[in-house]
Structure 1
Amino acid sequence: MRYFCNFLAAINRVSEHEVQFDLYHLLKRRDEQRELLKPGVSLPRHYFDFLLHSGVLEVEAAESYEPSTLQSAAIGMNIKSLGSNVLFDMCFSAQTYKLWQNADAFIEEITLPADIFEEYVYRLGAISRFRYLGRIEDPIVATELGENDMIEFKRDFLYSKNGIIKTVVAFANSNNGNLFLGISDEGEIIGVNQELEQYGDPDKYILALTQYIQDKTTPMLTPFPKISLKKVGDKHVVAIFVEVGSELICGLDKNGEKYVAIRTNNRSVIVKDPHQIGEIYVKRKLGSEISRRLGLL
């Protein structure tokens, strides 16, 4: 079902480069209904004007507003939760491949009914993604699911360092994934309690793990993996959630040499074929669908 709806910007202030406004959703029925989505939004003028030119935004202002010349823009809907209502951030960038890593502007925490959300995605030609798709925070749930293309277990940090980096790189180059430290390959929760005792402080332990991942991956992972400590009974487990990126991520081996890894089923595999590495790079930069449309894959 198509909906006759628009965003409505009640402009508060306009400068040469920026527009500040209250963002409403306007559902056009016999009796027009408006709903305040976000007060006090600030957006660069060329993105604000892009929404105007796209026909999804109306303006309400004390004085007439004159949009500037249309400039190219890409819009991404970064979904945070999905159901009858969708919670999302609207991301703006000059180029599509920069949306998830180097967006220039955001309107955060917008909530709309799912069908209305889909209408805006369609009308804007926006790219949408579920940022936290596949995130698993409960180690018990992870052990019930077992290792797969989005879950991997390692016994510890100190003796599994190389495997940790290979897995993080593989998830970053393939799909969102969860790496748990303190769980055996068989799915038994053994904990990292001894390592925590060696560091003397959980924060120092997490900091050391964070620093090691930073030092052994290039370019810097953005966004950086979410690392948290979970307790199952009297055992501590580390949960690391890695988001797939738009950059080709490399690991650094013990000699400082770069390598590329991807996720294949429930394994992280190092890729040596230059043509396959090139395909991964193109996918990360342009996205799989755009790459196929351009005949690059």
Structure 2
Amino acid sequence: MRHICSFVAAVIQLEEQSVRFDFYQESQRSKPVRELLKQRATLPRHYFDYLFHSGVLEVECDPPYQPVAAQPAAIGMNIRSLGSNVVFDMCFAPQTYKLWQNTDAVLEDISLSADLFEEYVYRLGAISRFRYLGRVDDPLVATQLGENDMIEFKRDFLLSKTGIIKSIVAFANSNNGNLFLGITDEGTISGVDHEVEHYGDPDKYILAITQYIQDKTVPLLTPFPKITLQKVQGKYVVAIFVEVASELICGLDKNGEKYVVIRTNNRSVVVKDPHQIGEIYVKRKLGSEISRRLGLL
């Protein structure tokens, strides 16, 4: 059976351990259409051959290409933006549970129509996650949008530590999110200048926030939240962008006990139901779509 779409690799250079190629997407609808996705891409040969053995990749090579024996591999789609087209990175790792932490190879900035993207995710059994989707770098833009499922405000760091960890854990377990310190619940820029002064300089202040997040979350957040200090209306504001984690992330209370938090209805909610915690764990490991198709959710 010929699928409606296939990746095509026009081999430029073939070596024992790697392949260099021009990467295309070919659709078989009313008429064949070939689109260049990336010029002079390079992949380790066992990942290149994994795509070939999976039936998603056709290879153009002279003499005809001879793949090596299939080896285990995991593929993840790191989504950068959504719309009629999906822009994503295709990431490769030896095993699924190591995918995001130990990516061996990446094909960056690939763009496909949404329906073709979903088709490849399904055929590859790939895990998808959002990268940078919903990221808000400008605190003033955040105040205009207001608090929602991806934006939350805190007045400061020192008096909001517990709430900060709950928010970060909730974003990591639910969806990408932006946490701003130095903004009131109403969206007024209050600043954290007094805290920066308390720590002596901006670098020490950011280091203190970073260290606290590391100490109060397990396992280690990967990727770790991006923390920046910005001047807004003459006042310091901290912007923390949290990406969805591939692992189930827990916070640690004052006694060192673990707790799980998710984001729902613009709030960070502690989850105690073991079944619900299990669902979160499965989604983190396999991705929501794959979990549904396997009947696990």
- Asked if Structure 1 and Structure 2 have the same fold, meaning a TM-score greater than 0.5 normalized by the shorter chain, the answer is yes
Normalising by structure 2, what TM-score?
0.84
Q: Does 1:92 align with 2:61?
A: no
Q: Quote the residue 2:154 is aligned against.
A: 154
Residues 121, 254 of structure 1: alpha-carbon distance in 2 compared, 3 angstrom cutoff: closer
Secondary structure, in 3 states, of the residue corresponding to 1:206?
A: helix
Deviation at 1:151, TM superposition (A): 1.3
Deviation at 1:132, TM superposition (A): 1.5
Deviation at 1:34, TM superposition (A): 7.5
Q: Does 1:19 align with 2:18?
A: yes
Equivalent positions of 1:114-125 (< 5 A) are 120-121=120-121, 124=124
Q: Quote the residue 1:165 is aligned against.
A: 165
Q: Is the 8 A contact 1:176 1:244 kept in 2?
A: yes
Letter of the aligned partner of 1:19 in structure 2?
S
| Structure 1: distance between partners of 2:33 and 2:293 | 40
Q: Quote the residue 2:9 is aligned against.
A: 8
Q: Does 1:136 align with 2:129?
A: no
Letter of the aligned partner of 1:110 in structure 2?
I
| Structure 2: distance between partners of 1:63 and 1:142 | 56
Deviation at 1:264, TM superposition (A): 2.2
| Structure 2: distance between partners of 1:124 and 1:251 | 33
Of stretches 114-123 and 78-87 in structure 1, the one that deviates more from structure 2 is: 114-123
RMSD across aligned positions (CA): 3.0
Letter of the aligned partner of 1:256 in structure 2?
G
Q: Quote the residue 1:263 is aligned against.
A: 263
Residues 36, 247 of structure 1: alpha-carbon distance in 2 compared, 3 angstrom cutoff: closer
Deviation at 1:179, TM superposition (A): 0.6
Residues 142, 204 of structure 1: alpha-carbon distance in 2 compared, 3 angstrom cutoff: same
Deviation at 1:49, TM superposition (A): 0.7
Pairs aligned (count): 293
Letter of the aligned partner of 1:22 in structure 2?
F
| Structure 1: distance between partners of 2:279 and 2:118 | 30
Q: Quote the residue 2:245 is aligned against.
A: 245
| Structure 2: distance between partners of 1:294 and 1:142 | 38
Secondary structure, in 3 states, of the residue corresponding to 2:158?
A: coil
| Structure 2: distance between partners of 1:26 and 1:33 | 6
Secondary structure, in 3 states, of the residue corresponding to 2:281?
A: helix
Q: Is the 8 A contact 1:3 1:119 kept in 2?
A: no
Q: Is the 8 A contact 2:21 2:42 kept in 1?
A: yes
Of stretches 189-198 and 279-288 in structure 1, the one that deviates more from structure 2 is: 279-288
Deviation at 1:286, TM superposition (A): 2.2
| Structure 2: distance between partners of 1:272 and 1:127 | 26
Residues 167, 46 of structure 1: alpha-carbon distance in 2 compared, 3 angstrom cutoff: same
Letter of the aligned partner of 2:257 in structure 1?
E
Unaligned residue ranges in structure 1 (runs of 5+): none
Q: Quote the residue 1:205 is aligned against.
A: 205
Q: Quote the residue 1:181 is aligned against.
A: 181
Secondary structure, in 3 states, of the residue corresponding to 1:189?
A: coil
Unaligned residue ranges in structure 2 (runs of 5+): none
Secondary structure, in 3 states, of the residue corresponding to 2:213?
A: helix
| Structure 1: distance between partners of 2:220 and 2:76 | 22
| Structure 2: distance between partners of 1:248 and 1:281 | 5
Letter of the aligned partner of 2:164 in structure 1?
I
Letter of the aligned partner of 1:251 in structure 2?
G
Q: Quote the residue 1:219 is aligned against.
A: 219
Deviation at 1:98, TM superposition (A): 4.5
Letter of the aligned partner of 1:283 in structure 2?
K
| Structure 1: distance between partners of 2:272 and 2:115 | 44
Q: Quote the residue 1:47 is aligned against.
A: 47
Normalising by structure 1, what TM-score?
0.84
Secondary structure, in 3 states, of the residue corresponding to 1:172?
A: helix
Residues 212, 9 of structure 1: alpha-carbon distance in 2 compared, 3 angstrom cutoff: farther
